[in-house]
Amino acid sequence: MSKVTVPKLQTMKQQGERISCLTAYDYLFATALDSAGVEAILVGDSLGMVIQGHSSTLPVTLEDMAYHSLAVSRGVSRAMVIADLPFLTYQQSPQQALLSAGHLMKAGGAEVVKLEGGAEMAPTVEFLTQRGIPVCGHLGLTPQSVHQLGGYRVQGREQARAEQLKNDALILQQAGACAVVLECIPQLLATQITKELVIPTIGIGAGANCDGQVLVLQDMLGLNDAHAPRFVRNFLQGTGSIDKALRAYVIAVRDGSFPTADESYK
């Protein structure tokens, strides 16, 4: 199968094809996800919690991200590799973001970088995309702002906040973002944003009407069942193997059976 590219994801949105994405942090899982047929693998700064045992993503360094991104990229032949820019490696200036993003691409093999934030990050997104670096935005629950948000809470339930998120999404698109992750926002709001954008939306806890879905790999394999949020489904349960669980996830995303209304926020 052909390599997944930025234009490929945009074509999938135009044709109404759902985009499946999962996180990975190492070579072996990357090969498994690639074989299962996911369109994109996110090397998330969630590795700070999943791999390193921190209570948040904030301690993750740029070198941590480059190391894990390179391991993932070595295991991938088809899926797109997206890597997070970690906390305080892009917020200072567009120039800082350029150096950090360039490092993730040169040393980490990343093909797209992801950053958190709305309108305030638009100049940075534009600066990067004008220099050949594809950027995925991230709105809603932005984990790097966990202390400002007061914890891992659903965003956009208030009208003013919902309007702000819709405006942020449009501004990021105008700045050149190739996609945007919508995390922990009401399904109706995510649906509205998805309809207004020409770039793909990738939901995590944002309902079934996003153009694609992403979950943390260890969550969808049931390794965090005791603390799993409502939008997580254990795909290993009932499938019997990791490979079958991954393929079941891809199928469920593509046919729209994941997430359900009970796995979304109202």
CATH number of the domain where residue 72 is located: 3.20.20.60
Q: The dihedral of CA 28, 31, 33, 35: what is its sign? A: negative
CA angle 48, 176, 214 (to 5 degrees): 40
Range of the domain at 35: 6-263
**What average pLDDT does the structure give for the chain?**
97
CA dihedral 165, 191, 115, 65 (to 10 degrees): 150
Evaluated on CA atoms 103, 104, 107, 111, the torsion sign reads: negative
pLDDT in tens, 221-234: 999 887 889 999 99
What is the pLDDT, as a whole number, of residue 224? 85
- Whether the pLDDT of residue 1 is over 80: the answer is no
Question: Is position 1 within any domain?
Answer: no
Number of domains in the chain: 1
Helix pair angle (159-175, 187-196), 10° resolution: 30
Residues taking part in catalysis = 183
Q: Is position 44 within any domain?
A: yes
Answer whether residue 57 is part of any domain: yes
Q: At what angle do helices 122-129 and 94-106 cross, to 10 degrees?
A: 50
pTM score of the predicted model: 0.97
